[in-house]
Structure 1
Amino acid sequence: MRTVIFGIISYLLFAACSNAQTDFDKYFENQSMRVDLILGGNKHMQSVYLLEIKQEPFWGGSINNLVDELGYGEYHFTIRNKESDELIYSRGFCTLFEEWRTTEEAKSINKAFYQTVTFPYPKEEVIFTLNERRKDGSYNALLTMVINPDDTNIRKEKVPDYEVVKLVDNGEPANMVDLTFIAEGYQLDEMDKFKADVKRMADYILSMEPYKSQQHKINFWAVCSPSIDSEADNPRRDKWVNTAVNSSFNTFYIDRYLETGDVISIRDIAACAPYDHICVLVNSDKYGGGGIYNHFSIGTSDHPSAREVMLHEIGHGFGGLADEYYTSDVAYQNFFDLNVEPWQPNITTLVNFDSKWKHLVDPSTPIPTPVSKKYEDVSGVFEGGGYVEKGVYRPAVNCRMKTNEAEGFCPACQAALTKMIEFVTD
């Protein structure tokens, strides 16, 4: 039955990985390998191509939890030791390309997007496999290739000579969540402002649960990457500026959607510091942002809601949380299959609610849960979320993944973020 496919597939895919994690020192150097890809296609088809492979100087991730057991992401890649065929690393992730494929434009034209993935630098030959998640929750291999870490064509350039500041220091990267902010739209003489803006973001994030309770596990880095011009592109005002990572409002013709396709430049800059998640801070007072799981999060510095927006976008980019709103203008069409349980931890189609936040719902609370004063402060199953009014349910009447006016994350989102923090730091 399709109604249980997602749970079965996820279990079979990841359960085999749960017996033991990889011995980091046996298989990896304490550096990163970055695989740069091009994803292209349209609504109905896609292809993936290798662009190049790079060596980066830092590995900021866990050295213990190397195999992904969460099952998040529209894509998933695996690294196997070529000689033994042992699975030694895996991660799920999302892309701007897969979002674009759900838009009206993707019905009529082909388009290509850069995509990058990183993993610890292998000591021996490995087999890299990139998989896509189908609508029914199953996986399809898009690309498989052997990577030789001694290949002379792997690029080993020095990282840019930018100032790097560790603004919040709680320990070594391997044991911490390293949130690395890079400067976008800050000119060279605006770097003091950038560092102050990042510190303001860090202070706010660490004041909100679950980061507040887990702040001893979090580092904040600032990479001072200068731009020729300030701010970001704003096509609706015919404003075009020359900036470090070419960010722009009006992504997919949505004014507030701030994004960039230049993930190559983002990764080049972020390589100056260890990172678990990259945050792009744009020197602008305009409202906007974006966040894509295991890709990056982006937001502005000076809008009155900038801190709330960045917290929301990191919820997407770091925590894999879905949007819980359903009334705002978006470009996506039929983003979720209502016959399949979505992988995002904070929404459900009730296909397999047992796998979500059911344990947080009091037995006396009805499912679905009415949006009424009686239930406004409890965990429930409220209809409306994931950009649609019917068929997708969220865990709270209001939450930071729904509105900026919410006090913070609901208990279900807090639990999911805590789980991610523990996965990254254990």
Structure 2
Amino acid sequence: MSTYLRSSMTHIDSRIQEDSLLFLDILLLCAPLRVAQDFHRIIPNFLDMISKLRVDSKPGRTLTINLNNQNTSAKWRVKVFQRLQEFLQKYAAYKNVENLGKIKTSGVTVFDVIKPNYYSLFDPINTSNCTVSCFSGKSSENELQIDEIEKFHEYTHTLVPLLFETWFEACPSSKSDKNFETVISEETGQLLKHIIQTLTLLKNLLKYFNTKCPSSHVEKLLLQKYKSKFSQHFMTSFPYVTNMRSRQVSRMDTTGVDTTDPKLIAVNLELCQLYIAFNPYVNLKNQSNEISLVLGYIEKIFNQSSDSTISAMVINLLNSLFCNEITGWTRTISVLDALFRKIIWIYFNKSMCDTLKQDIFGLLCKITLNENLSHFHSNDAFEMWLKSLPDILLSEKLTVQTVNIIHKFA
């Protein structure tokens, strides 16, 4: 099936290429594991569907123009990038990328006085098989892993410039006033969504490979190489909205995707997340305009949004900002002072739902317990929040998470 798929993806007939995307949809739905296992065989064909090798002396690829009457270049790229994003999602799930950073804790064995209790004499990890290669100092598994990382690194550095070039062609000219949003068409909004989600998946996969092989530095190399181009292509016109505000919001668009976010809030938040990732050592003097745009948008959405999904995205974004490692964002309080005050102000908002309040409480406790963020502790708003902690124990209901967090202060 993989062979037939790859043959149809690179077929000379554009109609067969379009059918290959439908065939891929079925495979992703019915056999995602098998498709993910053939990742390195299938991914080059995605590049051939939207680009071609340069004929001049320059390395890399250039975008192709679709002259089909039924599909414009923009529509075709939306279809391809949508499938590419879904393909990368299945590959990330196959690699278990989301659970990589989670701490694995062994289950606690509780002695049961009613029934017999059996305990192993040895730790299972000490009795597991250890595979050693007979022909080299490195195991074949490690060699295959390094080869896989190199291949994915190569695909990424081919694909990312194509993503930038695609958006450069589709994006309208720079906005005249930084206080206004950039209005784009519905089709362009879908293209932006798939490009940003593809970039996010590529970054997460590189982070996964970097964790597996720290000496490769693949994530750091990507962020350093494309930092300025990302800001140039995406942040100049940030934020974005579609021109369908007065129309029915929830419906199927021309690409078959349900359009439920005309203001592109989720996409803009992902852009903020990527900007923070691309600029860990941000410079307030040289990047003040971009910083104010990003933080201003986060603050605006956090204050206005009542959608639980959007609120969860903002909380995740804030957790990445106030991480354990000191970055340019948290080295001093000057960059995040206004946003930090807004977080505490929202926490004291009585009309806020319990789930969001619990998430903010966890974030503030994380900041409190982090010695690297001690300069935030002298903030007057933070001191006011600390004084309110005893009142939590007097509330009508108390969650287990709250008790566990307060216990850490003891």
Relative to the length of structure 2, the TM-score reads 0.25
More strand by share: 1
Quick one: higher RCO (CA 8 Å, sep 6+), 1 or 2? 1
More helix by share: 2
Relative to the length of structure 1, the TM-score reads 0.24
